Amino acid sequence: MILRSVKSWVVVFGFLFLASSSAIAEKFTVGTGQNSAGLYIEWSDGYIAEFAVRFESVSITGLNLFDMVEASLGLTTVRLNYGTSVFIDGISFNGHSNIGYGGGENWWHQWIKNGDGNWEWGSGVSERILNNGDSDGWIYGRAGEPVPEPLSVALFGLSGLILSRCRRQRRIS
């Protein structure tokens, strides 16, 4: 009976792991230099790309992050220029694209993270100054902050705990 229970849990967590794998981010590195900033982008279809952008200068702007990725990997942005500010209105990459306001939360939400701090609401891509270790996150279709670690890591850990408990109970019986 316990063995059947363990097999059931393995099947359930295997399914959840595979279902969550579509949210696993593709990771890319662009640029050169001793400093690095992160660029996290999540499209409404669930595709996530994480870019490590390497640079030499002391700091760069949020627009510089996009410029470097665009020059290296073919990502494209639609930018609305309002004089002193720039607004990101569209991002396309690897066949994934969200452009314009689509109602509700269907627009590009900017998040910023300084060093190891927490994600905070963004202040504008052209005004944003990033230093080594900082990150910008862009999400289309939901207001929540970036979640760079895939759910599959948590599910894998949880399944291990359950399996070890089942094994312990089997030895006791």
Q: Round to whole Å and give the CA distance between 9 and 60.
A: 48
Mean pLDDT of 99-120: 97
* Predicted pLDDT of residue 83: 87
Question: pLDDT by residue (tens digit) across 9-49?
Answer: 433 344 333 334 446 899 999 999 999 999 999 999 999 99
Strand ranges of the sheet holding 76-81, from the earlier edge strand across to the other edge:
76-81, 86-93, 96-99
* Predicted pLDDT of residue 18: 37
CB contact burial 104-126 (16+ within 10 A = b; e otherwise): eeebbbbbbbeeeeebeebebbb
Question: pLDDT by residue (tens digit) across 83-108?
Answer: 889 999 999 999 999 999 999 999 99
Q: Round to whole Å and give the CA distance between 59 and 78.
A: 24
Question: pLDDT by residue (tens digit) across 149-158?
Answer: 544 344 444 4
* Predicted pLDDT of residue 171: 54
Q: Round to whole Å and give the CA distance between 159 and 48.
A: 24
Angle at 129 between CA 123 and CA 134, to 5 degrees: 95
151-172 vs 2-20: helix crossing angle, rounded to 10 = 180
Q: Round to whole Å and give the CA distance between 116 and 132.
A: 11
